[in-house]
Amino acid sequence: MAMKLFAGIDVGASATKCMVISEKKEEVGFGVAKTGIDLAGGARKVFDDALSAVGGASVARIVSTGFGRKNVPFADASKTEISCQSKGCHFYFPKAIVIVDIGGQDTKVIRTDAYGKLTGFKMNRKCAAGTGTFLEEISRRLDVSLDEMNSLATRSAKDVEIGAFCTVFTGTEILARIREGVSREDLAKGVYKSVVKRAMEMDTLVGDVVLTGGVVAHNKILFDMFSEILERKVLIPPEPQFTGAFGAALYALKEPEQPRSG
């Protein structure tokens, strides 16, 4: 008998992710690509990439999430990113948690109880400061690639406060600090610390804190900074960039199957 598979597709503002799981809730395939203007085509691509790992086996049910969740015509259902992040994180950490999800264009603080039920959330949508877009802009100001930012910051010799939180004003501040002779390493570290402070200003991070999102996945220094400032170790799921897609796949597994057209 063929193994039943279930998929979650997370169409985020910066990246589109897909996670395929088995009936035992085990990851069997995944795909990721930069989100472009063709949301449906991008979703199909990451879905096909995820299936290629399992020889193109059929999927019983697909659930989409993310800002572009309604643009996945082949999905059987859609769920909000808040719900999927909560479900994905609670699978790994089955207790009351505070989720800090740092994405390409927004940051979310999500609270769940010990049973995984959503108890509240806050979202930063007014400004890109503290997000992946913010880091990308600052990396250009520092004349380094985004991939180099994390290693650059780890070589910092001292703390530098970056006072402005607006992306535009921070860029101006970075230029002024460069003229003062502040090293790129110290500036990079200061920028990451501003990302942490931005998230902490959104809500009080009490209890067990879980970090998720593509920014967390590609910038490990954030784990250390959150742990240092909170004075306790924060938690990170195995694949922090795919937590939303994993949560969507769990919803696909949980919900009853319906005949799929097309």
Among candidates 92, 98, 100, which has minimal Cα distance to 113?
A: 98
Contact assessment for residue 191 and residue 141, using Cβ atoms and an 8 Å cutoff: no
Are 210 and 158 found together in one domain? Answer: yes
Classify residue 77: in a domain, yes or no.
yes
Q: Give the pLDDT confidence score for residue 157 in this predicted structure.
A: 85
What contacts 261, CB < 8 A, 6 or more positions away? none
Are 206 and 228 found together in one domain? Answer: yes
Are 114 and 219 found together in one domain? Answer: yes
Q: What are the distances in angstroms from CA 28 to CA 15, 86, 145, 252?
A: 20, 21, 32, 15
Local structure of 222: helix, strand or coil: helix
Q: Give the pLDDT confidence score for residue 261 in this predicted structure.
A: 46
CATH code of residue 224: 3.30.420.40
User: Residue type for 45, please?
Assistant: K
Cα(87)–Cα(261) distance, integer angstroms = 27
Are 111 and 192 found together in one domain? Answer: yes
Cα(217)–Cα(171) distance, integer angstroms = 24
Are 121 and 229 found together in one domain? Answer: yes
Cα(85)–Cα(26) distance, integer angstroms = 17
State residue 170 phi and psi, 5-degree precision: -65, -40
Contact assessment for residue 223 and residue 56, using Cβ atoms and an 8 Å cutoff: no
pLDDT tens profile 177-222: 888 888 999 999 998 998 898 888 888 899 999 999 999 999 999 9
pLDDT tens profile 144-188: 888 899 999 999 988 888 865 666 677 788 888 888 888 999 999
Are 127 and 165 found together in one domain? Answer: yes
- Domain span at residue 157 reads 94-236
pLDDT tens profile 38-96: 999 999 999 999 998 787 678 999 999 999 999 999 999 999 999 999 999 999 999 99
pLDDT tens profile 111-141: 999 999 999 999 875 566 677 788 888 888 8
Classify residue 261: in a domain, yes or no.
no
In the structure encoding, which two tokens stand for residue 76, read together?
């059987």
Are 189 and 106 found together in one domain? Answer: yes
> Count of CB atoms within 10 A of residue 165's CB?
16
Angle of helix 243-254 versus helix 81-92 axis, rounded to 10: 90
How many domains are contained in the chain?
2
The DSSP output letter for 8 is E
